[in-house]
Amino acid sequence: MQINKVGIPSILLALMLASPVVFGGDPAEPAIEVEIFKFQFVPQEITVNIGDTVRWTNKEKRQYHSVWFEQSGDPEPEYFFPGESYVRLFDKAGSFPYHCGPHPKMTGTVHVK
């Protein structure tokens, strides 16, 4: 479990701030799945409904990644490592491009209808 600078487990702090969450295991809620493998988001483009949750799971053997919605004005989230996941709820319609912070050539888009 990752502990942040103020001593609160990262997952709890993220929930308290109502922001996307990095999980070491699988959260209980169903989600649309995106895998990260061989420095790619698979699938690279997805379409979801308002209120859907998307989970990106790092399937690499050794590499960390992030899922950064930089064009939306979001700060870069924490990196997550093999076996960990990043989860985000989409509550408004639109197209939301993202990329991996440390690997900006890794790109994807979430279309929300």
Per-domain residue ranges of the chain: 10-112
Say whether pLDDT at 67 is over 50: yes
CA-wise closest residue to 78 among 109, 101, 96, 55: 101
The tens digit of pLDDT for each residue in 21-55 reads 444 444 455 689 999 999 999 999 999 999 999 99
Amino acid at site 91: D
Query: What is the distance between the alpha carbons of residues 44 and 107, in angstroms, rounded to a whole number?
Result: 7
HSE (CB half, 13 Å, CA atoms) of 16? 6
CATH fold group of domain 10-112: Immunoglobulin-like (2.60.40)
pTM of the shown model: 0.75
User: Residue 33 belongs to what H/E stretch?
Assistant: strand 32-37
Query: What is the distance between the alpha carbons of residues 98 and 70, in angstroms, rounded to a whole number?
Result: 7
